[in-house]
Structure 1
Amino acid sequence: MDWQEISGSWVLIPQHPIGIVHFLGGAFVAAAPQLTYRWLLEQVAKQGYAVVATPFVNTLDHSAIAGNVLLSFNGVLDELRQKAILRRRYLPIYGLGHSMGCKLHLLIGSLFQVERAGNILISFNNYAARDAIPFVGQFNFSPAFNVEFTPSPVETNNIIAQKYNVARNLLVRFTNDTIDQTTGLSELLQKRFPNMVAMQILAGTHVTPLGQDISWQAGKEFTAFDAVGQWVKQEILYRELNLLRREILRWLDPMSPA
């Protein structure tokens, strides 16, 4: 499988896809998700899911971004179906978001008519612009000049509480994530869809999903040093990322051996 660019998104397609995962990343790393989230997304594709990773540039208008990334995603589906790359008539579609990507999937599921088998929302945060954009707080704007996201954090919560249409959700938060707001989101979604929302707390930080695999090249003879290197790679460098991978794949397919 190789990454290919289609309708403004980056796409990985296994030979016989069993589902489609639409991925949206965090605000400052979303411009090249096929690079910044490469390992995690390729692991999902290896389990048989077509991955559509849509890049975006963060602005204050999050509703507009949500509409644009959905338009790009639908363009990908149209092109894949026209070329008969997606041959099965029905494939379940899942949203997968990290950080700001969670908010965008929540807005998509609230403001637009979409069919989703479920959403996976990792490290959700819903901060005001002054808290989310480092330089904003350095300026003393007049009260008439209000710098804020659209919708604002309060408006976002109200939209989710009243309009969010995706019943099945997996929420993931990490133990050392100081900007995570998943617990509050869980309460909102549980009220809307009782018993359909699962939350997992995993070891890691806000940037755990960005972890990349590191190739350890052993010498001609496998030495004790090589064994230590493999152990460091397996147990330390991306143990947390592997835990996340397993939870995602288990939720997507509870019968999966992942």
Structure 2
Amino acid sequence: MIEFIGGSYLAATPQVSYRRLLEALSALGWQIHAWSYVPGFDHQLQANEAWRLFRQERQRWLESHSMDVSRQCRPTAGLEAGASRGAGPAVLRLGHSLGCKLHLLAPDAGRGCDGLAALAFNNFSAERSVPLLAEVGQQFGFRSEFSPSPAETLRLVSGQYRQPRNLLVRFDRDGLDQSGRLLAALRQRSEDASQLLELPGDHLTPASAGLRRRLLGEWADDPSRQRQVDGLARRIEAWWERSP
């Protein structure tokens, strides 16, 4: 099962903004839950909300299936997968940009999943991300920095995040990516098994709705975009299958 959080305002309609990627993963056999949200300044609050709703959706999924799904669990950090979250299918948390940060801030510190795939991790300050809003906040006395801040986020990752199995995907034309900083924070932990994968593309490579193809037909589509997204889904699947 995949629990997906998209990036920034793309995540308001993940079923549209990330349609190609989610369909490609679904075609590989994944059950997908995607969280819809509008970003705010309190990222910890939103991370808590996403975690809680994913947990509720997972419980509904279990209740709707009569088969014994506990056999699908895979080991993580020397414990039987699911031991800290109850019986259920193996869970991959998947995030893009800001969505990666929200997964990293989950209140279970990554214990309730079997791995994280972080696409184009972004951890900029509010001033860099929304400079006008940050300026207005300073003038009128309301919060103008994300909580936790970028530096605090990395400190929390290195000190409290407990999931050893992480795939960081960086795209070679992405000027917003901060996967290197995240990898450095992850590797400060003992028994870390994080990996970094660099692929062709830019920050928006994971976000493709295929709208031109759906509205105008195959002739209007860019086949290379579909190949990129399909290739990304296969690389995530390959890492998942071979990662201990």
Provide TM-score, normalisation by structure 2: 0.82
Larger radius of gyration: 1
CA distance in 2, matches of 1:123, 1:205: 9
SS in 1 for 2:206: helix
- Structure 1 runs not aligned, ≥5 long: 1-19, 219-228
Equivalence for 2:96: 98
CA distance in 1, matches of 2:36, 2:20: 16
CA distance in 1, matches of 2:68, 2:26: 17
Equivalence for 2:79: none
Q: Does structure 1 residue 187 correspond to structure 2 residue 168? A: no
CA distance in 1, matches of 2:29, 2:146: 36
Offset at residue 194 of structure 1 (A): 5.2
Q: How many residues align?
A: 223
Offset at residue 112 of structure 1 (A): 4.6
Equivalence for 1:44: 25
The higher relative CO (CA closer than 8 Å, separation ≥ 6) is in 2
CA distance in 1, matches of 2:67, 2:32: 12
Offset at residue 55 of structure 1 (A): 0.9
SS in 1 for 2:3: strand
Offset at residue 144 of structure 1 (A): 6.1
Deviating more after overlay: 239-248 vs 44-53:
239-248
Q: Go from structure 1 to structure 2 and tell me whether the alpha carbon gap of 1:237 and 1:111 turns closer, same or farther (over 3 Å shift).
A: closer
CA distance in 2, matches of 1:76, 1:45: 17
Amino acid across the alignment from 1:52? H
Offset at residue 237 of structure 1 (A): 3.3
Equivalence for 2:8: 27
SS in 2 for 1:58: coil
Counting aligned pairs with the same residue, the percent is 30
Equivalence for 2:147: 150
1:101-250 alignment, distance < 5 Å: 101-108=99-106, 112=109, 114-136=111-133, 139=136, 141-142=138-139, 146-193=143-190, 196-213=193-210, 214=213, 233-234=222-223, 236-250=224-238
Offset at residue 251 of structure 1 (A): 1.1
Structure with the bigger percentage of helix: 2
Q: Go from structure 1 to structure 2 and tell me whether the alpha carbon gap of 1:81 and 1:111 turns closer, same or farther (over 3 Å shift).
A: closer
Q: Determine if contact 1:111/1:163 at 8 Å carries over to the other structure.
A: no
CA distance in 2, matches of 1:197, 1:74: 24
Equivalence for 1:58: 39
Q: Go from structure 1 to structure 2 and tell me whether the alpha carbon gap of 1:99 and 1:140 turns closer, same or farther (over 3 Å shift).
A: closer
Provide TM-score, normalisation by structure 1: 0.78
SS in 1 for 2:40: coil
Q: Go from structure 1 to structure 2 and tell me whether the alpha carbon gap of 1:75 and 1:86 turns closer, same or farther (over 3 Å shift).
A: farther
Equivalence for 1:84: 65
